[in-house]
Amino acid sequence: MFPEASIKRPPADALPLGAKIAILRTQDEFAVSASGFLPARHLAPLANHEPDFVAVAERFAGVPYLWGGKTSLGLDCSGLVQVALAACGNACPRDSDMQEKALGKPANLAGLQRGDLLFWKGHVAIALGRNSMIHANAFHMAVAIEPVAEALARIGAAGSQVTSVRRLK
């Protein structure tokens, strides 16, 4: 968000994906809110939703890990899942233990599919397919894409095993 209708000014604020903004009017290529000016082409009506929560999660690859984070400044594992699902219009609890209880139907590692959620005690990851996953984690200190087998081995060596796999569709 900018203090005036110019992208050459220092930003007044950085808004997270999914921020709800009341637009007062438009001016040139900007939407004007009570707090500042936003490039109008970066806004969408509330009724618009992203079609693929996995693709939304992938946009955050490389974002720093931040416990409790839910923005491009930093994310934790359950925040990544919550933000990605919310962008698609799907309600999602905040913490991984609540997500494990509330989301999807049981699935298994052998049949892992894109969009399946993998849960450990205090952690969640999103399957990108049978062999890779994305998750915000303290090992990489970032949102990272990695092979499922490597993550399972590393997390298992630290004493944690997968508690469930949940399929959302």
CB 60 within 8 A of CB 74: no
CB 61 within 8 A of CB 136: no
In the set 49, 77, 88, 140, the catalytic residue is 77
**49 catalytically annotated:** no
In the set 88, 92, 123, 140, the catalytic residue is 123
Helix, coil or strand: residue 43: coil
Q: With 0-12 CB in 10 A as exposed, 13-18 as middle and 19+ as buried, what is 51?
A: exposed
**77 catalytically annotated:** yes
Cβ partners under 8 Å of residue 49, min gap 6 = 87, 88, 89
Q: Which residue has the tokens 């469930």?
A: 164
**123 catalytically annotated:** yes
In the set 42, 88, 92, 135, the catalytic residue is 135
Q: How far apart are CA 17 and CA 50, in angstroms?
A: 11
Catalytic residues: 77, 123, 135
